[in-house]
Amino acid sequence: MKRTYAAAAGVITVATLSLTACSGGSTGDAAEPGGPVTLTLSGWALDTTPEFQLLADAFSEKNPDVTVEVTGYDAADYNTLLTTDLAAGSGPDIITQKEVKYLPTLVEGGQLLDVSDVALSDEIGGASSYQVDGTQYAVPYRQDSWVLFYNKALFAQAGVAEPDGSWTWADYDAAAAQLTDGIAAAGGTAKGTYQHRWQSTVQGFANAQQDGDILSGEYDYMAPYYERVLGLQDDGDQVAFNTSTANQLTYQGEFGTQNAAMLPMGTWYVATLIAQQASGDANTFEWGIAPIPQADASTTGTTNTPVTFGDPTGFGINAGIADEKVQAAKDFLAFASSEEAAQLLAGIGITPALLTDGVVETYFSNEGAPQDELSRFAFAEHDTHPENPTSNKAAAIQNILLDMHSAILSGSTSVDAAITDAQNRVANEVGLG
């Protein structure tokens, strides 16, 4: 399998933050060296996110002397609540890295253990996102990438040819227009595509496909991506940003109830869509995934590697962990990033960081998963650039770029003016160099 993963941009300059330098003792039972060990692991939305308990149980089954207890946090406030617990010395032993952009805060606060000695496969994706000055502070266990979901029934209804892996964004825009018109002519109301409100739905692709770097402070390369999205809105081929915001539309609802024929989204949606079709929360229809449209033809087609983006999800170790637990925690990280764990994750529709032919086969053996070759190609073959550089400036810059995103797509500010304003704010509020 041909897979490449771009290295995360940016280097952290270690600074003193308000966080305590050491998290203190972590929760869980103390243990004598060589005796039973209890590790705590942070997670979120445990009722709907089974991967944490799955990995915890599988590791404990292989290691009967180690119990892994999953501690649930509110998903929306995960990073805030976790940081509070760490500062109070009550954080978990194993810290799930929900968003890469918050890793620098933990590193600079001295709250993550060096895990460079945890062996990782050369084929694993996303590991570089957790490296700071050559030191590994977490290991990835899953790596989602953005692809194009499409509704085969709506394509057939509109009389439009399905994606074949050769699409550029111009092809995607043309298909969206043809779908909107064709579906309407057949008596339907679905739009050609749906783009969710997140800034990543525009900026993530611009960064990956134009080799953009948000740490550069220059964002003109994003302009064409915004201009084409505004065109789709103006032509009525996708729901306008303001309408989506006012009605708090969900991407699951828009695609799952067939209000849109296409949806650019991360591979995590595969498992959700399968589950929702099984439960009745989504309509029953045949769907597939295709490579995300490309900037130009040089990376299109199934003989090339499409460029997309996506951040990994990983596990780090609390620097305040009891000494007698360290090896068990590192063993858990090694297991979570292994092919054995990847097979388990693939079996429940989660995209592992390690993709082998066998893992891909397991993934597509899930009932309800698409079975066409293009879907397999889109899932397995990609040059996935990180959404967030591993830098202590990333979070602040992303907040400014979020304001730019909203200003452009809401129509309150022109593309050029919004980009200029964002560049000035980054220079004045963040400072680079």
Residues 260-272: tens digit of each pLDDT? 999 999 999 998 9
Q: Specify the pLDDT at position 4.
A: 47
Query: Which pLDDT score is estimated for 15?
Result: 32
Please tell me the predicted confidence (pLDDT) of residue 391: 85
Closest C-alpha to 65, from 43, 38, 83: 38
How confident is the model at residue 389, as a pLDDT? 86
pLDDT for the residue 34: 62
Statement: residue 205 has pLDDT above 80? yes
Identify the CA nearest to 321 among candidates 85, 27, 12. 27
C-alpha 329/C-alpha 322 separation (Å) is: 10
Task: Give the model confidence (pLDDT) of 148-183 as tens digits.
Answer: 999 999 999 999 999 999 999 999 999 999 999 999
Q: How confident is the model at residue 27 (pLDDT cuts 50, 70, 90)?
A: very low
Is the predicted pLDDT of residue 35 greater than 70, yes or no? yes
Give the closest residue to 200 by CA, choosing from 105, 345, 101: 101
Residue of 24 and 249 predicted with greater confidence = 249
For residue 16, pLDDT over 60 is answered with no
pLDDT in tens, 346-404: 999 899 999 999 999 999 999 999 999 999 999 999 999 988 888 889 889 999 999 99
Can you tell me which residue has the tokens 């024929």? 261
CB 345 within 8 A of CB 129: no
Instruction: State the first-to-last Cα distance of the chain, in angstroms, to the nearest integer.
Output: 39
Going by pLDDT thresholds of 50, 70 and 90, the confidence category of residue 32 is very low
DSSP state of 317: E
pLDDT higher than 70, residue 69: yes
Please determine, for residue 18, whether its predicted confidence score (pLDDT) is greater than 60: no
* Distance in angstroms (rounded) separating the CA atoms of residues 138 and 316: 4
DSSP state of 260: B
Which strands, in side-by-side order, build the sheet including 146-151? 262-266, 146-151, 287-291
d(CA 210, CA 347): 34
**Cα(354)–Cα(121) distance, integer angstroms:** 8
Residues facing 260 on adjacent strands: 191
Contact 313, 331 (CB under 8 A): no
The 3-state DSSP class for residue 236 equals: coil
Average pLDDT, the chain: 90
289's enclosing H/E stretch is strand 287-291
Q: How far apart are CA 418 and CA 350, in angstroms?
A: 37
Contact 409, 241 (CB under 8 A): yes
Cα angle 193, 199, 204 (rounded to 5 degrees) comes to 85
DSSP calls for 133-161: TTEE--EEEEE--EEEEEEHHHHHHHT-P
Q: What is the pLDDT of residues 214-253, one digit of tens each?
A: 999 999 999 999 999 999 999 999 999 999 999 999 999 9
Comparing CA positions, the residue from 3, 271, 9, 10 lying closest to residue 124 is 3
Residue pair 148/113 in contact by the 8 Å Cβ criterion: no
Burial of 114 (0-12, 13-18, 19+ CB in 10 A): middle
> Which structural domains are found in the chain, ordered by start?
4-144+312-380 (3.40.190.10), 146-308 (3.40.190.10)
pLDDT tens digits, 97-124:
998 888 998 999 999 999 999 999 988 9
Quote the pLDDT of residue 433: 55
Question: Measuring CA to CA, which residue among 56, 64, 119, 96 is closest to residue 338?
Answer: 119
Read off the pLDDT band of 198 (50, 70, 90): very high
- Mind listing the pLDDT tens digit for each residue in 327-343? 999 999 999 999 999 99
What pTM, to 2 d.p., does this model score? Answer: 0.86
Question: What's the angle, vertex CA 386, arms to CA 290 and CA 291, rounded to 5?
Answer: 10
Residue 5 has pLDDT above 80, yes or no: no
Check pLDDT > 70 for residue 2. no
Region for 285 from its dihedrals, namely left if φ exceeds 0, alpha if ψ lies in -120 to 50, beta otherwise: beta
Name the residue with tokens 């397995």.
380
pLDDT tens column, 274-318: 989 999 999 999 999 999 999 999 999 999 999 999 989 999 999
Phi and psi angles of residue 35, each rounded to the nearest 5 degrees, phi first: -95, -175
Residue 385's DSSP bridge partners are 309
284: number of Cβ within 10 Å:
10
Residue 330, token pair as written in the block: 């590192």
The pLDDT, as a whole number, for residue 31 is 42
Going 198 to 199 to 204 to 206, the CA torsion angle's sign is positive
